[in-house]
Structure 1
Amino acid sequence: MYYFPDPPYFLLVFGLFAGITCGLAFEATLKQQVREWSKNRSTRTLAQMQGIQLQLPFLGICGGICLFLVAGLEVFGFPGWLSFGTSMPLTLFIGLLVWSQLKSLLGQLERGGSRALDLDVWE
Structure 2
Amino acid sequence: MYYFPEPPYFLMTAGLIAGMASGLAFEATLKQAVELWSKNRSSRTLSNLKGLQLQLPFLGMAGGICVFLASGMEIFGFPKLLSYVLALPLTLLTAWLVWTQLAKVLIELQRGGSQALDLDSFFEEP
2:5 and 2:49 map into 1 onto residues whose CA distance is 46
Corresponding residue for residue 121 of structure 1 = 121
Residue 47 of structure 1 deviates from its aligned partner by 3.2
AA partner of residue 73 (structure 2): L
Q: Point out where structure 2 has 5 or more consecutive residues left out of the alignment.
A: none
2:43 and 2:16 map into 1 onto residues whose CA distance is 38
Residue 45 of structure 1 deviates from its aligned partner by 5.0
Instruction: Within 5 Å, give how 1:15-34 maps onto structure 2.
Output: 15-34=15-34
Q: Point out where structure 1 has 5 or more consecutive residues left out of the alignment.
A: none
Change in 2 beyond 3 A, CA 1:56/1:64 = same
AA partner of residue 122 (structure 1): F
1:79 lines up with 2:79 in the alignment? yes
AA partner of residue 115 (structure 2): R
When the two structures are superposed, what TM-score results if normalisation uses the length of structure 1?
0.97
2:48 and 2:12 map into 1 onto residues whose CA distance is 34
Q: Percent of aligned positions with the same letter in both sequences? A: 63
| 4+ long deviations beyond 3 Å | none
Q: 2:33, 2:45 within 8 Å by CA — same for their partners in 1?
A: no
Instruction: Within 5 Å, give how 1:1-123 maps onto structure 2.
Output: 1-44=1-44, 46-123=46-123
Spell out, residue by residue over 1:60-104, the C-alpha distance to the aligned partner (whole angstroms, 9 max, x if none): 000000000010000001000100000000000000000000000
Residue 25 of structure 1 deviates from its aligned partner by 0.3
Q: How many equivalent pairs are there?
A: 123
Question: Does 1 or 2 have the higher relative contact order (CA < 8 Å, sep 6+)?
Answer: 1
Residue 46 of structure 1 deviates from its aligned partner by 1.4
AA partner of residue 95 (structure 2): G
